[in-house]
Copies of this chain bind each other. A is one copy, B any other.
Amino acid sequence: MDETGTTPEHPMWLPEAVFRGLRDRTIAVVGDDPLLGTVRREADAAGMTEVPPSAEAELTIMPVADLATHARRIDAAAVGDLGTEGYAIAREGGRTVIAYAGAAGALYGWFHVVRAGLGDADTAGGAASDAPTVERHVPRHSLRMLDHWDNVSEHPVMGQVERGYAGGSIFYEDGRVREDLSRVERYARLLASIGVNRVAINNVNVGRREARLLTDDLGEVSRIAACFRPWGIRVHLAVSFASPITLAGLPTADPVDEAVQQWWADAATRVYAAIEDFGGFLVKADSEGQPGPFAYGRDHADGANMLAAALAPHGGIVHWRAFVYNHRQDWRDRSTDRARAAYDHFVPLDGRFADNVILQVKYGPLDFQVREPVSPVIPGLRETAVALELQITQEYTGQQRHAVYLAPQWREILEFAPFGDSGPTISDLSRGGIAAVANVGDDPFWTGHPLAQANLYAYGRLAWDPSLDADAILDEWAALTFGDDTTARGGIHRLLSDSWRTYESYTAPLGVGFMVNPGDHYGPSVEGYEYSPWGTYHFADRDGIGVDRTVATGTGYAGQYPEPWRSVYESLDSVPDELLLFFHHVPYSHRLRSGATVVQHVYDTHFDGVERVRAQVALWDSLDGRIDTAVHRRVTERLAEQLRSATDWRDQINTYFFRASGIADERGRRIY
């Protein structure tokens, strides 16, 4: 019932109201980089008046080097090293000064002001005699990337956007790059406002049509890059490892073949001739049918380094995905464990990757499940730049039909300390930055489910600063998007804040994963993957369930972790309840550390989860009249589907566990 035809494009978190406080205020901008031009146009559009640099300007944006001249009371030494993207912000006597080192810092500083407001010049005047407070904002990760799984031509099964739940691609239409890219420009602005600085514009599963983006379509790619460039964002392409064969007719794509190397070098030269600030290549190789170096008896370092050599003269990067496993596994083979695959493939190659190779690692060892342990590949690679890969598009988390705010999950991942509390976190170890699969499309709300905008927003903010609190980001987003109504904002907070755990509660329990319908990955199918070639099994029988991944008696996956986690996961006494079935096969009567049995936990969480969704529905209904009508209607529709689907999950999971175990619910609730 979505009225996609008539609903106007939603402004996401930058509605006009956000800029109201800037109207008729004065701004001074020092510098002439093109990105400063962007800032000036933004300020002008916001109704600000540009003035020459002076103490009178209510907002001054200037290079750090000019602080001494124009803003004497702020000490450049206190500002410190801002890198190319950082900024410092000082509030002084009702005046705000943003200092930048690189021009991108000016842009990010500008959006800081947009988010936080300029303050009131009159009331702030009283503090004129105090030394100004200087806040430094430098991104924790220098590469903050979005991966679009967009196909140029519509894939017969996957559609135009693989795992896209928000309509068609904003880049492509009718098998080519869109004529009108104005939406891409608005998208770039939204991304800049949350700090994203890299975008891969096509699917990592590179079809024959998409492969040609690298060659025939460079002019078109250049048009897309031009939309992103004013916003400090560089464009990357996903490329097919077989391109020398499929595009150029070479007899091989062997990475040690000189003609192949030359072809890639020439391809890179052509790309940079067309797009000077091109970001680099993103590669899914030897994975789920994509071509790769294995066909030639080469390893992934050989493959990645060959591409890296082609890009290096131009400053380009190879993002090489670690998502490599045997997707034609035989379920009868209990010795193979897909969870082990990335580590087994890549850790032995540590130290062999070129400097401009980044190994991009999914957060968990399987595939973006609602709950997985953090991938041991990230701590396992000591000498390789690693990028953490998250998934904003809700492939396994409700497909933007369920309201699921993912930032709490991402925070857990980013803060996970693989070597123990005193060691580095996953964020610290992701020296190659963060990448995430995008969740937007040509839907009027951008993300299908309007509340899924929060995930895109939170991703950008966390990629910049992983220490931000998930709830604080949520509130920041809600304030920008929904305005001043505290009832509305509070309601949205309550609806979303714990929604990830709500989703977990009514879907696959205790870290067991993959109880979704094969193919579309939506809705329950407890045995859907149990006899499949995909390597995702739970081994439920009449006695128990779970995968023994211990070193002692299982696949040994737990041994891929450093201490303390190796031991924590190895033992039933210490494994966290929420990962129990990921690491251990236990009887249904096994008692969790929470005190409940496994089967009773399943019943309890599934009954409870549906009630939580029901409460969300009621909460949202109560906000009718406080929220934009089109948004409210769309979310109402989606919540109805979420409740239906959650009920389906509850009943199928509960029935499955009851049929298997024969153990009744202690509380006598209805199991079908």
**What is A's interface to B at a CB cutoff of 8 Å?**
156, 331-332, 334, 519, 524-528, 530-531, 540-543, 651-652, 655, 658-662, 672
Contact = CB atoms under 8 A, between A and B. Distances in A.
Contacts of A659: 540-542
Nearest to A532: B525
Contacts of A531: 524-526, 652, 655
Contacts of A332: 651, 672
A318 B556 CA distance: 65
A543 B662 contact: yes
Given A527-B526, A527-B527, A541 B660 contact: yes
Q: Ordered nearest first, which 5 A-B pairs have the shortest CB separation? A: A541-B659, A542-B542, A527-B527, A332-B672, A531-B652
A671 to B, nearest CB: 10
B541 A662 contact: yes
Contacts of A672: 331-332, 334
A543 B524 CA distance: 23
A660 B542 contact: yes
A413 to B, nearest CB: 32
Nearest to A541: B659
A156 B658 CA distance: 38
B156 A662 contact: no
Contacts of A658: 541
Contacts of A543: 662
16 contacts: A156-B156, A332-B651, A332-B672, A519-B519, A524-B531, A525-B527, A525-B528, A526-B531, A527-B528, A528-B528, A541-B659, A541-B660, A542-B542, A542-B660, A543-B662, A660-B660
A227 B662 CA distance: 62
Nearest to A661: B542
Given A156-B156, A332-B672, A542 B652 contact: no
Given A527-B530, A542-B662, 10 more contacts: A156-B156, A332-B651, A332-B672, A525-B528, A526-B531, A540-B659, A542-B542, A542-B659, A542-B660, A543-B662
A554 B539 CA distance: 32
Contacts of A334: 672
A17 to B, nearest CB: 43
**Interface-central residue, A528, A543, A662, by most chain B CB under 10 Å:** A528
Contacts of A655: 531
Nearest to A519: B519
Contacts of A652: 531
A631 B655 CA distance: 49
Contacts of A661: 542
A304 B245 CA distance: 58
A331 B528 CA distance: 16
Contacts of A651: 332
Nearest to A658: B541
Contacts of A662: 541-543
